[in-house]
Amino acid sequence: MSEDPFVSVDEIVAARRTIAGAIRHTPVEPSASLSGRTGVPVTLKLEHHQHSGSFKFRGATNAVLSLTPAERAAGVVGVSTGNHGRGLARAAAAAGVRCVIAMSELVPANKVAAIRGEGADVLIGGRSQDEAQQAVDRLVAEGMTMIPPFDDRRVIAGQGTLGLEMLEDMPAVDTVVVPLSGGGLISGVAAALKARKSGIRVVGVSMERGAAMHASLAAGRPVEVRELPTLADSLGGGIGLGNRHTFVMVRALVDDVVLLTEAEIALGIHHCYWQERQIVEGSGAVGVAALLAGKIALEGPTMLLLSGGNIDMALHHRVVSGETVDVADEAA
């Protein structure tokens, strides 16, 4: 009998118990500026205040704390665009487990340095996550345990704890807006929300440059896309042609997906800083950016998930100062 690809709310509740002593229940703040602009109550879930600077710490912690003694002794390895690596490195260090993170050459230097600062060994190679995955596969063959960034029951369940929090923080919420990359975050959040509240709407937001899940949904199956430089760098990477969980969960549970230009993402970062007084990376600001761009129609109370704050501060300064920044030109 094949494994059910859907992660259940019971698994998410169990994950919440597992990670309760390790994570922060991150705060929520009403946004007067966005509420005034949209005409409905808009609240921000400040998950960029989580340990390691992003939601990734939730799933990584649940996965590490679920390891067998033999797996703990052998160590863990993962591939990352930055935030999963940092979350996994911190979770492994807290548990006394060796950790190796493989990343492509497109990962910003500040995120590489942060992962090393958490105590992990770092391997850099290739121009995509798929190429970086080859190094992970070699280490798994040598006995280490891979903890994927998104397509894993333990990881999805850990990220889903955010959905439980969000509904407790704003019981009247009608629409939840979530950054979308490989789908581990939005799958878990949507599974939790829709199990607890009928009729709630979940909207995913990604960038126009290399949105793998969006392309896969359009094709009706997981497909590869070219990974391109973007201000929303944490949303880069493929979903895996052998995707086991997140593709079917996103297809079934997410009501809409919208894409943003680089200029729109920059405005989201700019707004978060000047209007909300929050330092948020591009991937974490896409929900705000989508509202500013008028790409999501709102009918009732709305919560935006600010998922990460691990942006290079020199880049952040340029964006919030109004400079036109195209990371693709700078990477060429």
Residues 138 and 202 occupy one common structural domain: no
Residues 30 and 174 occupy one common structural domain: yes
Residues 20 and 66 occupy one common structural domain: no
Q: What is the pLDDT of residue 2?
A: 61
C-alpha angle 22/172/235, rounded to 5°?
50
Judge whether 326 lies within some domain: yes
CA distance 230 to 283: 9
Judge whether 3 lies within some domain: no
Helix (H) or strand (E) run with residue 187 in it: helix 184-196
DSSP per-residue string spanning 145-180: EE--SSSSHHHHHHHHHHHHHHHHH-TT--EEEEE-
Judge whether 1 lies within some domain: no
Judge whether 263 lies within some domain: yes
> What CATH number does residue 278 fall under?
3.40.50.1100
Taking residue 149's Cβ as centre, other Cβ atoms within 10 Å add up to 27
- Among candidates 176, 286, 171, which has minimal Cα distance to 235? 286
Tell me the CA end-to-end span of the chain in Å, nearest whole number.
49
Residues 13 and 136 occupy one common structural domain: no
| pLDDT tens for each residue of the chain, 332 residues long | 468 999 999 999 999 999 999 999 999 999 999 999 999 999 999 999 999 999 999 999 999 999 999 999 999 999 887 788 999 999 999 999 999 999 888 888 888 899 999 999 999 987 777 788 888 899 999 999 999 999 999 999 999 999 999 999 999 999 999 999 999 999 999 999 999 999 999 999 999 999 999 999 999 999 999 888 999 999 988 899 999 999 999 999 999 999 999 999 999 999 999 999 999 999 999 999 999 999 999 999 999 999 999 999 999 999 999 999 988 777 66
